[in-house]
Chains A and B, each alone.
Chain A
């Protein structure tokens, strides 16, 4: 079965500390992986996708097919990074997204 697991509901770090939001997936084929972010009072929006291999707002994520993971990382957290982060998977011919349950990142001053 297709599944996305985000084990942490809440991750609290201090400003300047490294951040890693975990995402593991279960999928039989070659999935497309995404990270979406929802800042307070804003729409859900794409942060990054694995095929683009970009660094957005200092965040990176590497697809590890062996460990079936797509963890989101940032070396130095900023207060403005505080938000809800969702890992999502898409596979097959359609663009149906399967979302994880989300991780709330709280960056303390």
Chain B
């Protein structure tokens, strides 16, 4: 159904390994976001990007990195510095950077081996 896609659906990480989660959108949206969803904690903002080649830290950016080289892509790397990476990761986008409805992807579940 297009819109925002995330891959893979499930991802396994070994100790000390960096892994990258993919987020792609074909909505021509300017802004993109990464959230982490943990049981009982709701969604917390990791990073966001309002425009290509620019991004800002959210509330829990430590241990994560992002890039925004293309408008349609906003990959998230979970580095070995993230000590508790097991979670459900959601990507979202909005047409602009103002206060607008966010459109979410299906999510990636990251598990540590």
CB < 8 Å neighbour of A95 from B31, B35, B90, B105:
B31
Q: Is the CB of B42 within 8 A of A102?
A: yes
The distance in angstroms between the C-alpha atoms of A97 and B102, with both chains bound, is 9
CB < 8 Å neighbour of B41 from A36, A44, A45, A101:
A101
Specify which chain A residues have a CB less than 8 angstroms from the CB of B11 in the assembled complex: none
Interface size in chain B (residues, C-beta < 8 A): 26
Q: Is the CB of B101 within 8 A of A94?
A: no
Binds A, one of B18-26, B63-71, B75-83, B92-100: B92-100
Distance from A29 Cβ to chain B, minimum over Cβ atoms (Å): 12
Given A95-B31, A95-B99: A9 and B40 interface contact (C-beta under 8 Å):
yes
Q: Is the CB of A100 within 8 A of B42?
A: yes
Quick one: closest A residue to B105, CB to CB? A43
A57 at the interface (CB under 8 A from B): no
Q: Is the CB of B101 within 8 A of A97?
A: no
Q: Is the CB of A96 within 8 A of B48?
A: yes
Q: Is the CB of B44 within 8 A of A32?
A: no
CB < 8 Å neighbour of B43 from A49, A90, A94, A99:
A99
Quick one: closest A residue to B41, CB to CB? A101
Specify which chain B residues have a CB less than 8 angstroms from the CB of A46 in the assembled complex: 101-102
The distance in angstroms between the C-alpha atoms of A96 and B42, with both chains bound, is 14
The digit string for A86-99, where 1 denotes a CB below 8 A from any CB of B, is 10001001111111
Would you list 15 pairs from A and B whose C-beta atoms are within 8 A, ordered by A residue?
A9-B40, A43-B105, A43-B106, A43-B107, A44-B92, A46-B102, A86-B43, A95-B33, A95-B98, A97-B33, A97-B43, A99-B42, A100-B42, A101-B40, A101-B42
> Which residues on A are within 8 Å of B, measured CB to CB?
6, 9, 32, 34, 36, 43-46, 49, 86, 90, 93-102
New A-B pairs, 5, CB < 8 Å, besides A43-B105, A95-B99: A44-B92, A93-B97, A96-B33, A96-B48, A97-B43
